[in-house]
Structure 1
Amino acid sequence: MMGMVDRDEVEFALGPFAVTYEREVAIDFSMAVDSDTQKIVMVRPGLENDMGGFLKPFTSQVWLLLLLSVICSVAALVFLVWAEGKIFGTNPKYIGSKASMWVLQTLTQENTEWLPEGDGGRVVITTWLFASLIFMSSYSGILTAMLTIPKVTIPIDSLSDLVSQTKLPWRLEAGAMIQPYLQYSDDEIHRKGFYLMSGTTPDCWTSRQAIADGQYAVICDQTSIKKVISWDFSTTGKCHTYIGREAVYSNIMMSIAFRRNSSYLPKANKLISILRNTGIFAKWLHNEIGNTTQCLKPPTSDRQEGIEALGLDAFYGLIFLLVGGWIISLLAFLCEYLICYKLKTEPDTPLDE
């Protein structure tokens, strides 16, 4: 439509259109009808089960420190029990295996019967019991809270998030000002937004079903996005779309495009002024996109009331961990069997007690 106005094929085009310097050189614009913002609209993020969810209560640094604590506690316990055995002549056996099993059992809140005889080893045990109690209490509490109130991960909230992922393609509106803005920007992230796009679309309204189905995201004006959201909620009663929080381009003046020196421009400015000052335009816009309140809330508010039953896919991580433990135990058994078989077939080799 902008091209038709520029070629004097039509007197004006309603739009409204974003006012840019390049466009103002070629055509005339009316006074601002409204101001808008370019944002990303995509399929609404939902609750997803994570195979590694049982590891999420703590960061990787905490888990690494826990592993180091287990190793150091076992090493300290073995050394003290061995040293005390040398001093007092008790000669304890299988110190390494007993200490390792004791540390792991107490960490998982299991009962254990073995205790070192010396005071030095018992001091290490007391310290480890206190530390493991705090750790496991914190872990169980955080994990319970995460299962009770699950967190919705929002992978895309800005243009930087959009260009750094590969799962969801995106498109730009054909002929919109956002294309040259991104293409010729000095910012690398903006240029990626143009050169890595999967194509163009006529407008957000045309792509509304594809956006709701998660086929691709679109960068367009917020008013059009709200119109799509209003349509989606009015027709389905659910929210299938989401607006990224960070704007791609802010405070764009939207106006009606006129051919150069059009006699209709002063009359249009007067009419626009009346519609805005009397609140008629704001009321009409609210009626058009008013059914958006529920869907403009964060995705975390989509959680249903009450406790939701967990499906099998929520336990895939634990199942794989269990199966992995079975496989390791089987391999350990085979190694023990082969070693024992080899020692039995060599009578000259003494067996350790």
Structure 2
Amino acid sequence: MYVTNADDSNGRRLDNGSWSGSIGMVHRGEADFTAAISLDLFRYHVGEVSEIIFIDEYSAAYKRPSVQSDIAGFVKPFTPLVWVLVLVLLLMVLVAYSLLSFTQHSLAILPTPTTRNHGVGGREVVQDGASGKQEPNPSKHNIINSDAVIWTVCSLLAQSVPLEPPRGVVKSVTGLWLLLSLILATVYRSNLKAMLILPKVTLPFNNLEELVNAGLPVWVSLDSHLHRSVYFADPNSLLGGLNSTIYNAGQPNNTTWGATGLIEGVHVVVVPKYALLQVMNTHFSKTGKCSIYLMDETFMKTNLLCLFFKRGSPFKHKFNYLIRRMRESGILDHFYQRALMNITECLKPIKSEALRPLTLGDFYGIFSIYLGGLYIAFCYFLLELLRASTGS
């Protein structure tokens, strides 16, 4: 006959020396043995345990995060290193174009010399002022001018700007920059579409350190081996830091209450991984949805699961024989896999490869840049008005 205790817990030692939960029922003779429970030093000394059934590890679960729009998706087509290289290349082209244009402009305003023979092999160079080509003073031609800046940037942004570059090497530089800008713009557009369509998934935590730093409320069974380990751990350690996030002291301690709050997103549940997998499997079997997120990394990887007996119980040796036979023949592993047969879909990485229509949130990043540009232009316009009104 299968019996349950009132608080639906494994049990913990009370102040008067007695035990609560299923361990207390066995200790009082109300039950012959418990279901598989975690073994620790306190439980080991109060009764007898069977052969090890399963070695589990602790993990944490939370409400499964939903996909959302990526506001910064417009910068994702290129890696940060590529963006830095594009910026450096932009500055290099701007400087090269400006220097070459300035040099060619300076050479163009020099007077055209004429020569005349003077003797057999000698010749004398004289300046022909009439035929010299007079142009504006080179000192009035800045090395970096606004036309060069506007053309270099607009070419990269695929915007048309009228420009007739000088002949020679300057025209070669402009041609190469136009070709490179075309390649960069084409690659960016193709990657941008894929980056915006694929949604973004933000995981709340993926290891114990991130869980502690997240500051989310954590539910832990107050009679578990984990709770005692957390309570006595160094406050400066990761395990000790978890103690400040446990919030269910003085509240219901049964696993049903903890699992309900997990599915509703009220708190994080930290229990042995197999227990979390059972909750996920049961919920998916009933609803057909994966509503629970399980972090990848685990901790306290030597959580031993055994049956608990009263001292001198005649059932211990019989169960030990059965457990050894079933474990060595692989029957226990078969039972484990069969109990979690519906959980495969929920253990896949949280991502979506399916295409989706773009939403307004996908353009928030681009709109913010546009509004920022309008704000800067408006401020510059006010400065021009102020300068004109002061007459400076």
* Bin for the TM-score computed over the shorter chain: 0.7 to 0.9
Does the 8 Å contact 1:184/1:191 carry over to 2?
yes
Q: Distance in 1 between matches of 2:232 and 2:274?
A: 25
Identity, % of aligned pairs? 25
Identify the residue that residue 249 of structure 1 maps to in structure 2. 300
Please say if 1:161 is aligned against 2:210.
yes
Q: Distance in 2 between matches of 1:59 and 1:173?
A: 44
* CA displacement at 1:38 relative to structure 2: 1.3
Identify the residue that residue 8 of structure 1 maps to in structure 2. 27
Q: Deviations over 1:101-143 (max 9, x none)?
A: 1111111122232143153433442443344334333322322
What is the Cα-based RMSD across aligned positions, in Å? 3.1
Please say if 1:325 is aligned against 2:373.
yes
For structure 1, which runs of at least 5 residues remain unmatched after alignment? 347-353
Structure 1 residues 173 and 136: alpha-carbon distance in aligned structure 2, compared to 1, 3 A threshold: farther
Aligned partner (choices 10, 20, 23) of residue 40 of structure 2: 20
Please say if 1:96 is aligned against 2:116.
no
Aligned residues: 340
Identify the residue that residue 179 of structure 1 maps to in structure 2. 227
Identify the residue that residue 342 of structure 2 maps to in structure 1. 291
Q: Distance in 1 between matches of 2:312 and 2:269?
A: 35
Structure 1 residues 8 and 309: alpha-carbon distance in aligned structure 2, compared to 1, 3 A threshold: same
Q: Distance in 2 between matches of 1:75 and 1:170?
A: 58
Structure 1 residues 204 and 77: alpha-carbon distance in aligned structure 2, compared to 1, 3 A threshold: farther
For structure 2, which runs of at least 5 residues remain unmatched after alignment? 1-10, 14-18, 110-134
Once the two structures are superposed, the pairs formed by residues 1-353 of structure 1 within 5 Å of their partners are 1-3=11-13, 4=19, 5=23, 8-10=27-29, 12-89=32-109, 91=136, 96-166=145-215, 168-184=216-232, 188-199=237-248, 202=253, 205-273=256-324, 276=327, 285-286=336-337, 288-300=339-351, 302-303=352-353, 305=354, 307-343=355-391
Q: Distance in 2 between matches of 1:25 and 1:33?
A: 19
Q: Distance in 2 between matches of 1:325 and 1:237?
A: 47
Return 74-83 or 104-113, whichever deviates more: 74-83
Q: Distance in 1 between matches of 2:373 and 2:366?
A: 10
Q: Deviations over 1:35-67 (max 9, x none)?
A: 222111112233111222212233444434433
* CA displacement at 1:235 relative to structure 2: 2.5
In structure 1, give the amino acid aligned to 2:359. G
Q: Distance in 1 between matches of 2:178 and 2:256?
A: 62
Identify the residue that residue 7 of structure 2 maps to in structure 1. none
Q: Distance in 1 between matches of 2:206 and 2:343?
A: 19
Larger CA Rg, structure 1 vs 2: 2
Does the 8 Å contact 2:198/2:356 carry over to 1?
no
Structure 1 residues 281 and 14: alpha-carbon distance in aligned structure 2, compared to 1, 3 A threshold: farther
* CA displacement at 1:312 relative to structure 2: 1.0
Q: Distance in 1 between matches of 2:156 and 2:350?
A: 36
Q: Distance in 2 between matches of 1:121 and 1:192?
A: 64
TM-score (ref. length: structure 2):
0.75
Q: Aligned with 1:173: secondary structure?
A: coil
Identify the residue that residue 123 of structure 2 maps to in structure 1. none
Q: Deviations over 1:13-49 (max 9, x none)?
A: 4131122344323332111222222111112233111
* CA displacement at 1:209 relative to structure 2: 2.9
Q: Deviations over 1:252-276 (max 9, x none)?
A: 2200112333333223324444665
Does the 8 Å contact 1:203/1:220 carry over to 2?
no
Q: Distance in 1 between matches of 2:192 and 2:42?
A: 56
Structure 1 residues 81 and 13: alpha-carbon distance in aligned structure 2, compared to 1, 3 A threshold: farther
Q: Distance in 1 between matches of 2:85 and 2:255?
A: 49
Q: Distance in 1 between matches of 2:97 and 2:237?
A: 55
Runs of 4+ in 1 over 6 A off after TM superposition: 277-280
Q: Deviations over 1:269-311 (max 9, x none)?
A: 24444665677655655554332121121112x55x4x31111
Q: Distance in 1 between matches of 2:337 and 2:256?
A: 17
Does the 8 Å contact 2:196/2:362 carry over to 1?
no
In structure 1, give the amino acid aligned to 2:27. D
Does the 8 Å contact 1:2/1:13 carry over to 2?
no
